[in-house]
Amino acid sequence: MSVRGASPRRECMEGSILRGIGSFYTVLCDEDGREYTLRAQKKLRHQKLTPMVGDRVRFTPGQGEEDGWLEEILPRRSMLVRPSVANVDMLMLVVASVPAPDLLLCDKLILRATQGSMTPAICVNKIDLGDGLAQQIEAEYAGTQLRVFSVSAHTGEGVGVLREAMRGRVTCLAGQSAVGKSSLLNALFGLSLETGGLSRKTERGRHTTRRAEMMALDGMFVLDTPGFSLLELEDAIEPEAFAQLYPEYNALAGACRFQPCLHDREPGCAVHAAVDRGELSAARWARYRELLGEVREKWKGRYI
Ligand SMILES: Nc1nc2c(ncn2[C@@H]2O[C@H](COP(=O)(O)OP(=O)(O)OP(=O)(O)O)[C@@H](O)[C@H]2O)c(=O)[nH]1
Ligand SMILES: [Mg+2]
Ligand SMILES: [Zn+2]
């Protein structure tokens, strides 16, 4: 209970981190819907806790000109290191025909989303270019139960379906630079986020978005993130556990001759047979085997 007249101890409030610049964080307060600029308490640094965009936090607001303090980071429902975001429900991987999709990067991001307790989904943008990428992506990820959205931020096609899928959840858009993440958010919600083109020389994105930012819109939270092109696998994971992160292989694993089967070179492998029959993507299987090689190496060297 606070005593009127005496200097009352300011109450802690709860909210979500929308963005962070240097050691300052902007937090949207649950109670009054206002944005507060806060600094992280030293004790957080001592606990080696770095606040992330999307974090649920407790804070003490500042008074007048003075900034408030971020006091505590509440337990995270989910977490991703690249892009660095917390409490995301749906990780929306955005791809386009330009810049050319890097499907190994897609696979890794999907794996990370699954390991980090998020639901991955794929959004094929720029369908106005008429290149058939959406059909290719659907074939690549057949049997994974991943939702694939086909949209154009430019014409608005498919944008309504995507918005409905985002309703009531925290959705993070991620992927290579210049696939149109910021453009999509502009088209979805009438925002005016900065967008960029492709470098003419390298045909790569210009990294227009520089840091992750969360926006509260219409009963949902959406996150725009900087594009990236490199992603490491998680640290050492058991090869059997890795194989289980592929739902379309899991569904067949019972029919493999060896138990457990890593669906690599084992004779009588049901995954291999399904690939030979053209029911599963040969390219995704080749990428899987490449990653499996890395996973095996890391697992062997895990105590070093
Ligand atoms: N043809 C076409 N071009 C698009 C579409 N959406 C975005 N673009 C173009 O793609 C380029 C990159 O768009 P951005 O929205 O900046 O891409 P981003 O993914 O946010 O890029 P980073 O912030 O660098 O990660 C811009 O030139 C956009 O005009 C689309 O639906 N169709
Ligand atoms: Mg952007
Ligand atoms: Zn097998």
CA–centroid distance, residue 18 to ligand 2 (Å): 16
State residue 172 phi and psi, 5-degree precision: -115, 125
Least trusted range by pLDDT, from 28-37, 141-150, 151-160, 232-241: 232-241
List the chain domain ranges. 13-73, 79-224, 239-300
- Give the pLDDT band of residue 220 (cuts 50, 70, 90): very high
Give the ligand at the shortest distance from the Cα of 249: 3
pLDDT in tens, 277-291: 999 999 999 999 999
What pLDDT score was predicted for residue 9? 59
What is the architecture of the domain spanning 79-224? 3-Layer(aba) Sandwich (3.40)
From 25, 67, 35, 93, select the one nearest 216 (Cα to Cα). 35
pLDDT band at 271; cut points 50, 70, 90: very high
**Fold of the domain spanning 239-300:** Ribonucleotide Reductase Protein R1; domain 1 (1.10.40)
Q: What is the pLDDT of residue 223?
A: 98
What pLDDT sits at residue 232? 83
Q: For the chain, what is the mean pLDDT?
A: 92
Closest C-alpha to ligand 1, atom 16 = 195
As residues whose CB is below 5 A from the ion ligand 2, the structure lists 181-182, 208-209
Pocket of ligand 1 (CB under 6 A): 125-126, 128-129, 152-154, 177-183, 195-197, 205-209, 226-227
Residue ID of nearest Cα to ligand 1 atom 2: 126
CATH number, span 13-73: 2.40.50.140
- Residue 89 pLDDT > 50, yes or no? yes
Q: Tens digits of per-residue pLDDT, 34-56?
A: 999 999 988 888 888 899 999 99
